[in-house]
Amino acid sequence: MALKKDLSINYLGVKFENPFCLSSSPVGSDYDMCAKALEAGWGGIVFKTIGIFIADEVSPRFDIVNKEGHPFVGFKNLEQISDKSVEANLKCIEKIKKNFPHKPMIASVMGSSPEEWKQLAEMVTQAGADIIECNFSCPQMTSHTMGSDVGTNLELVREYSRATSQATKLPVIAKMTPNLTNIEGPALAAIEGGAKSISAINTVKSITSVDTDLFCSVPVVDGKSAIGGYSGAAIKPIALRFIANLAQYDKLKGVEISGIGGIETWRDAVEFLLLGARNLQVTTGIMQYGYRIVEDMISGVSHYMDEKGFNSLEDFIGKALTNLTGADNLNRDYKAPVKINAEACIGCGRCYISCYDAAHQAIDWDGEKRRPAVSDRCVGCHLCLNVCPVQGVILPGEIEFKEGRTKRPVTIKTKYE
Amino acid sequence: MSTVNKAPYLEEAVQPFTPRTAMEEAARCLLCHEPPCSDSCPAGTNPGKFIRSIRFRNVKGAAETIREANVLGGVCARVCPTDKLCEEACSRTGIDRPIEIGRLQRFVTDQEKIFGMEILKKGPAKNKKIACVGSGPVSLACAAALAAAGYQVVIYEQKPEPGGVLTYGIIPSRLPKEVVEQEIGRIKKLGVEFKLGAKIGRDLSLEALKSQFDAVFLGLGLWGGKLPALEGIDLKGVYSAVDYLSQAKDSGGRELAAERAVIIGGGDVAMDCASTAKQLGAKTTIVYRRTLEDAPANAAEVKFVQSLGVGFIFQFTPSKILGKDGKVCGFEAKGTDGESELRLKADQVIFAIGQAPEEILLSEKLELTDKKLIKINDENHSTSLKGVFAAGDAVNGGKTVVQAVAEGKTAAFAIMSYLTGEAK
């Protein structure tokens, strides 16, 4: 029998059978889609953002970033919030809650005035949502009172969070934009305004590509384009950084975090959990591969927990935070020069090129035998290890302490895939 | 039930890459330091560099790399024994399988055509004329290099169409006619003149040629088919490989239909004969005197022939061809074990056991080797006749197209240094 661990978790006082949720986007924008997602195994839904403003979308509205023929490394969209009427969306939420009563429904909303936020909060509460997420961060909304600029304005975040929280008994999440230097300020403002949780990140403002024949960035809408939101695997590193910032910020201690940004695999999911997220949201992975990706997330996290002896997500949420410190606090007393397994080496010479052109000229190249050899110039930067195309050929060797430094045991990564 | 490849005779069998799949394949390339693939190309086509150009989205630059090194880049992309050259050297083999270099080269040369690129340019005119005898790969490469340097070049070809083995030998499934025409078209654009149906030694003497030109290049092929001295060898339906293949290509395959064909041999030419016979509808069997492992044919060609459903019988040597009313009706062979015997029904027996030069009647003064090949000075391709140079199959006894390209280029440079030396 396939292994399945208990992945259930309480988030904002609501029980989720697993932490995997659709994030507010086209992937959760009507009843049939949400029903299919929930049947596929998703733990909950953040419904596509509902507003008094009704979107009138452009065509086309997406672009992707490829890397050497590998598509969808990053994804740009120009979509706004829901293009359906409030009534239609509310009916949809009601129907989902009726047919899937144990699957939490998070209603994402966006208003353009305290009055609208209040109104929306009341309506989705009435419709049966379990949680409300305030969308302070959609880069495609163009007004100053809606969109990602709101998320950088402490006053507006506080005011809108308050208007929403005061209009409902439900817990409120504030969804943050990454288009700023420090996320802690707006996050704190949201909590001060009454929000109970922070979700991050929304999409990154971007231009993914420029059509070099049309002299226009992409997507091309009647010869013009606009800056849009970047998402997918490419933004995971940015998302993880903001999650860690939030989790390590003293003034936000105890505030629950929902992690968003480039989650495709169970490993991505575990990384977000290890940095303190207790709920996870996904869109781009679904846009590319469909709802079924949750199967391998559930299975993969289960196997990880089995390997590590964890019985609950609580056993490892935030477990990597204590090991995230300032660069000035890192141990600078030693180096880990590499060792090269010449027998397994296939002789491509990539390590030699990168070490010479970008590091310390510490690899000698035997052109006859087509084999590299590490010299004592190696500083242990591990550029070669990252460039080498063959698994396990270049690995960290013996630890060497710098002169005059005290020898002591150190922890280094030895397992590379 | 097993799947059999029904590739038609006149259609290219290998599917091309699309820009996207080409990029995927280029992304598999490790972009080696001092790429071993590049070191392994006789013609210096430099796959390490052109694949890197594909990877960095510079297909036009890739086309320049190929074309500047190899005027028959589109042909070699299709017919090179890559498994013994660049792909054998490929470092990626150490991980899983080599990069499909030949197919990537084909992608780039196809793109070159789509872009309408004219990479090779005629050099500043030089007041010297060179005649190239023969229009196969070696002559084409030599003529192109000379024309690119500004020399006036005339190619003399005894057959009605130019291209030699490309036109009259290699099967269309591997090398479509259009590709050969395109490559020759590029050489014509360089200003090379083609005189077709003109056989030197018959229509024009080598002496006359020498007097009209500042230098003469002999790029002759091996058009003498070898037939063993066997009982029944004169029966109708017995062919040498060169005759069989050129008749097939000449008629688009129409005149050579048979019920049961037996091919003798284990080289690329035998494979070409076998696929031709099979594609033209015959039940086809290859009989080879040694084992598959010993067979000199390119692995890709053997696989292709196998995929068509051609049968292989190893370690049998032909002993007799059976006939009826002057026509072939069967074939007998003896096992190399000294005991086994083989008797096959057949109405076609094709011997692909090597080619010989046609009797070279150009001049009594042209010195030949013991094997009746043209004798040259290895350093500068010069023959025993002053101002006459030679390279290719009639010198080396028959090698690959890419080898011919390489030799044609070096011969061109030898001719240039002869001509500039003479000018001093």
Q: pLDDT tens-digit profile of B158-174?
A: 999 999 999 999 999 99
Residue at B180 is within a domain: yes
* Mean pLDDT calculated for residue range A305-334: 97
CATH number of the domain that residue B233 is part of? 3.50.50.60
Burial class (CB in 10 A: 0-12, 13-18, 19+), A143: exposed
Q: How confident is the model at residue A382 (pLDDT cuts 50, 70, 90)?
A: very high
A409 in a domain, yes or no? Answer: no
CA–CA distance from A258 to each of A48, A175, A413 (Å)?
Answer: 16, 9, 28
Rounded Cα distance, A139 and A148, in Å: 5
Do both A300 and A341 map to the same domain? no
Q: Are residues A317 and A346 in the same domain?
A: no
Q: What residue in A sits closest to B33 (Cα-Cα)? A: A349
Is the predicted pLDDT of residue A196 greater than 90, yes or no? yes
Q: Please name the residue of chain B whose CA is at the shortest distance from the CA of residue A353.
A: B33
At residue B259, the pLDDT reads 96
| Residue range A17-42: mean pLDDT, rounded | 98
Contact between chains at B36 and A390 (C-beta distance less than 8 A): no
Coil, strand or helix: which one is B404? helix
Q: What is the pLDDT of residue B423?
A: 44
Are B136 and B172 in a shared domain? yes
Looking at the 3D structure of chain A, how many domains does it have? 2
- What ipTM describes this predicted complex? 0.88
pLDDT at residue B362, rounded to an integer: 66
Q: CATH number of the domain that B110 lies in? A: 1.10.1060.10
Q: Is the residue at A153 inside a domain?
A: yes
DSSP of A330-349: S--SEE--EEE-TTT-----
| Residue A412 placed within a domain | no
The whole domain housing A358 covers 331-401
Mean pLDDT over the full length of chain A: 96
Judge if B104 and B175 occupy the same domain: no
Looking at the fold, whether B86 and B166 belong to one and the same domain comes out as no
Contact list in A for residue B31 (CB cut-off 8 A) is: 348, 350
A415 touches chain B (CB under 8 A): no
Residue B122's pLDDT band (cuts 50, 70, 90):
very high
pLDDT tens for residues B6-20? 989 999 999 999 999
Give the model confidence (pLDDT) of B171-214 as tens digits.
999 999 999 999 999 999 999 999 999 998 888 899 999 999 99
Contact A350 B34 (CB under 8 A): no
The CA distances from residue A165 to A131, A202, A236, in Å, are 11, 21, 30
Q: Which of A274, A305, A323 is the last residue of a domain?
A: A323
What pLDDT, on the 0 to 100 scale, is given for residue B125? 95
Q: Which of residues A274, A290, A323 is at a domain's end? A: A323
Last residue of a domain, one of B319, B352, B385: B352
Q: Residue A42 sits in a domain of what CATH number?
A: 3.20.20.70
Residue B119 maps to a domain: no
A417 domain-assigned: no
Q: What is the pLDDT of residue A127?
A: 97
Instruction: Judge whether A138 counts as a catalytic residue.
Output: yes
Query: Do residues B212 and B250 both lie within one domain?
Result: no
Percent of chain B with pLDDT strictly greater than 90: 89
Contact B134, B157 (CB under 8 A): yes
Is residue A196 domain-shared with residue A305, that is, in the same domain?
Answer: yes
B-chain residues near A347 (CB < 8 A): 32, 36, 91, 94
Q: Is B397 exposed, middle or buried (0-12, 13-18, 19+ CB in 10 A)?
A: middle
Which of the listed residues B295, B318, B352 is the one where a domain comes to its end? B352
Q: Which pair of tokens denotes residue A112?
A: 């353009």
Q: Which helix (H) or strand (E) holds A120?
A: helix A114-127
B9 found inside a domain = no
In the numeric block, the tokens 């231009």 are attached to: A207
Whether residue A312 is found in the same domain as residue A380: no
- Are B251 and B318 part of one and the same domain? yes
Gap between the Cα atoms of A15 and A12, Å rounded: 8
Residues A19 and A96 grouped into a single domain: yes
Euclidean distance between CA atoms A265 and A233, whole angstroms: 10
pLDDT at B424 over 60: no
Residue B64 vs residues A51, A121, B56, B70, B103: alpha-carbon distances, Å: 56, 64, 15, 10, 17
**Residues 6+ positions from A368 with CB-CB distance below 8 Å:** none
Q: By residue range, what is the domain housing residue B156?
A: 129-223+361-423
Mean pLDDT of B56-81: 97
- A387 at the B interface (CB within 8 A)? no
CA B356 from chain center: how many Å? Answer: 15
State the smallest CA–CA distance between residue B91 and chain A in angstroms: 6
Rounded to an integer, the average pLDDT of B116-121 is: 96
Residues B231 and B217 in one domain: no
Give the residue from A264, A292, A323 where a domain finishes.
A323
Rounded to 5°, angle at Cα A346 from A342 and A350: 95
Query: In the structure encoding, which two tokens stand for residue A77, read together?
Result: 């969209």
Determine, yes or no, domain membership for A410. Answer: no
Q: How far is A317 from chain B (nearest CA, A)?
A: 37
- In terms of domains, do A265 and A375 share one? no
Q: What is the pLDDT of residues A281-305, one digit of tens each?
A: 999 999 999 999 999 999 999 999 9
pLDDT at site B260:
97
Q: How far apart are CA A275 and CA B20, in angstroms?
A: 37
CB contact under 8 A, B95 and A346: yes
Alpha-carbon span A239 to A247, nearest angstrom: 12
> B204 in a domain, yes or no?
yes
Are B110 and B167 contained in the same domain?
no
On average, the pLDDT of chain B sits at 94
Could you give the number of structural domains in chain B?
3
Judge whether B89 lies within some domain. Answer: yes
Q: Is omega for the bond preceding A186 within 30 degrees of 0, making it cis?
A: no
Are B314 and B247 in the same domain?
yes
CA distance A395 to A378: 13
- Please indicate, yes or no, whether residues B26 and B104 belong to a single structural domain of this protein: yes
